[in-house]
Amino acid sequence: MQTLKYQGLKIHQNTKTSIEDILVVEAPLQININREAYTVVMRTPGDDIELVRGLLFAEDIYKKQKSFSFEVKKQENEIPSIVNITIPKNDLGRGYLNKRSLLSVSSCGICGKKELKDIKVDGNKFSKTYHFSSDELHKMYLKMIVFQNTFNTSGGSHAAGIFNKQQELLTIREDIGRHNAVDKTIGDLLIRNKLDEAKYLLVSGRVSYEIVSKAFLAKIPIIVAVSACSSLAVDFAKEFGICLIGFTRGDKMTIYSNPSFVKTNVSYV
């Protein structure tokens, strides 16, 4: 259940009309690890196991290929509310020692982090580049739009899509939270053992530092956004060797880092 109908009163100039609007669902999901509460995330229901798998990967809690066992508990309205995960203690990564202590809302990727040092990301900078054109990026976005059913219905969800080197769509997921959508796509590829094929991450909204760090941990060298990029996202992208592109709309786009990835025939003015 990703959308629900709500009544509203639409005002236009001097007229008012009663309407029934379709809204994207935002609901809490409590994640328990080995019977202990880890965090509560606000998300759009659907693909919850992919969301959890991607989140634990990004948080350096569980990065092994083998699946973990889980139990899903639902509310009376059939929306999952709790996921109980069982992971052997020896398989828990160092991120588990730094458990989130606060609610993680759908628009905030670092809520619950205890210390500033917890937002650092370790790893080797990307060295290999992939060359592509702006036309190819726009074609990939057109492929994504076809599968954005929740957005097309409600206008209120974000989407993330991951493509391979041949620019074939590997996975796409939607959620009310930008980083939730990214976690779901990465989690899906982890479950299907296809994460090593990921080369492009396309997002429907803006890019913050956390989306860049999630892409880096997943070894995705190219991030393309419809909207803006934050200053920290650009700083991280430059440090990690990621090609970060924002404002990708129509025949326009802004390259913020590693422009050598992009094939262009334009000259500076």
Among 108, 111, 229, 243, the active-site one is: 108
Pairwise CA distance, residues 219 & 181, whole Å: 17
Give one DSSP letter per residue of 104-117, joined into a string: B-TT-SSTT--SGG
* Beta-ladder partners of 20: 7
Report in angstroms the alpha-carbon separations of 89 from 84, 98, 154: 15, 15, 41
Q: Is 250 annotated as a binding residue?
A: yes
Q: Tell me if residue 243 is catalytic.
A: no
Q: Is 70 annotated as a binding residue?
A: no
Pairwise CA distance, residues 261 & 132, whole Å: 7
Pairwise CA distance, residues 171 & 201, whole Å: 10
Q: Is 135 annotated as a binding residue?
A: no
Q: Is 248 annotated as a binding residue?
A: yes
The three-point CA angle 45-37-25 to 5° equals 15
Amino acid at position 52, single letter? V
Q: Is 196 annotated as a binding residue?
A: no
| 54 membership: H or E segment, kind and range | helix 48-58
Question: Tokens at residue 27, please?
Answer: 């609901």
* Beta-ladder partners of 30: 40, 82
Please state, as a whole number, how many other Cβ atoms lie within 10 Å of the Cβ of residue 131: 9
Q: Is 132 annotated as a binding residue?
A: no
Pairwise CA distance, residues 23 & 140, whole Å: 26
The catalytic residues are 108
Annotated binding site: 247-252
